[in-house]
């Protein structure tokens, strides 16, 4: 009996596991954690989620012996790698640039100690609402982009850094006619105005009304490539609009804007809240079309 147990114990013995192996595991885990955190703040983050789902689906297909699906996935791997290189081209280029400047390695060992301490809260929404109300009354054109999950750093670099706390007075002053900072977009991250006079991509959509100008097209354009919310004040009519998720909702009241932003930036942003937000946006779209 002892001989049998000894034979089985040797057969299922664990491989040697030393201190160097533990260090190696921690290093690999740390690098993966930092790289995921680096991609999380970019457009690549949403695509990585899709890739993870596909990998999980591949494993499931392998376990269940779905041979046809496995064949399709394996034969599309080459095309998938090529597509990933094209899709991630801006992120890969930025990583190589930072690596060349020596910033990438330093960023691996940098922890954001301010994360979560300065949030986009109801007070910030109130200040933005006051500014939008005043600029609507005076027909002052404005373009205010509010960052969410996807980083706006690439667009932030096209403007002038501000790094000031969000206030209605500062926003109104930035967009005042004939001031150096009035042309372009303001980017808000948390409770800070990080930059002004920023350039945004213009949408190529033909669905927008011909009466809408560059501000509205820029608002829709940034919503096509990020998950940000953009508030637009028309210089001609004073009407307030909101761009999000490739759509533009026009002729909103300040209460509409506040309600949408409060739901969108709530810490308890469940799927139920998303459905309510979508319904609210659709209702406002129908109202604006009438």
User: Residue 175 and residue 197: Cα distance in Å, rounded?
Assistant: 9
Does residue 24 surpass a pLDDT of 70? yes
Q: pLDDT confidence of 58, banded at 50, 70, 90? A: confident
Give the count of domains, the chain: 2
Contacts with 198 (C-beta within 8 Å, 6 or more apart), sequence order? 145, 155, 156, 158, 159, 184, 185, 186, 187
| pLDDT tens digits, one per residue of 237-287 | 999 999 998 899 999 999 999 999 998 887 654 344 444 444 454 454 444
Boundary-marking domain end, from 108, 143, 176? 108
> Which residues make Cβ contacts (< 8 Å) with residue 9, sequence separation at least 6?
none
- Please name the residue that has the structure tokens 């354009």: 221
The residue among 193, 145, 151, 192 whose CA lies nearest residue 37 is: 151
**Do 98 and 140 fall within a single domain?**
no
Q: Are 119 and 128 spatial neighbours (Cβ–Cβ below 8 Å)?
A: no
Does residue 115 form part of some domain?
no
Residue-wise pLDDT for 121-130, tens only, equals 889 999 999 9
If asked whether residues 101 and 141 sit together in one domain, one would say no
Q: Look up the domain containing 140 and give its range.
A: 122-289
Q: Are 58 and 186 part of one and the same domain?
A: no
The CA distance from 198 to 184, in Å, is 5
Angle between helices 89-101 and 77-87 in degrees, nearest 10? 60
Integer-rounded Cα radius of gyration of the chain: 25
């Amino acid at each position: 009996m002892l001989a049998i147990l000894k034979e089985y114990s040797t057969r299922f013995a664990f491989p040697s596991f030393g201190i160097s192996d533990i260090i190696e595991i921690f290093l690999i885990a740390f690098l993966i954690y930092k790289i995921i955190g680096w991609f999380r703040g970019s457009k690549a983050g949403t695509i990585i989620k899709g890739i993870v789902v596909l990998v999980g689906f591949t494993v499931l297909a392998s376990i269940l012996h779905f041979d046809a699906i496995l064949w399709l996935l394996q034969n599309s791997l080459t095309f998938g790698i090529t597509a990933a290189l094209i899709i991630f081209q801006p992120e890969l280029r930025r990583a190589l640039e930072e690596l060349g400047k020596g910033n990438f390695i330093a960023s691996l060992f940098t922890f954001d100690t301010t994360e979560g301490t300065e949030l986009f809260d109801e007070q910030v929404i109130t200040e933005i609402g006051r500014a939008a109300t005043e600029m609507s009354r005076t027909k002052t054109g404005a373009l205010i982009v509010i960052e969410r999950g996807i980083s706006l750093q690439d667009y932030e670099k096209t403007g002038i850094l501000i790094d000031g706390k969000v206030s209605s007075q500062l926003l109104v002053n930035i967009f005042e006619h004939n001031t150096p900072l009035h042309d372009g977009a303001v980017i808000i991250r948390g409770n800070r105005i990080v930059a002004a006079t920023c350039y945004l991509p213009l949408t190529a959509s033909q669905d927008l009304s011909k009466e809408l100008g560059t501000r509205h097209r820029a608002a829709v354009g940034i919503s096509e490539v990020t998950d940000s919310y953009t508030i637009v004040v028309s210089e001609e009519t004073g009407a307030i609009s909101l761009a999000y998720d490739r759509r533009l909702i026009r002729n909103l009241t300040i209460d509409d804007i506040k309600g949408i932003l409060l739901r969108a930036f709530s810490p308890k942003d469940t799927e139920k809240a998303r459905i309510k937000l979508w319904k609210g946006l659709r209702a406002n779209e129908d109202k604006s079309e009438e």
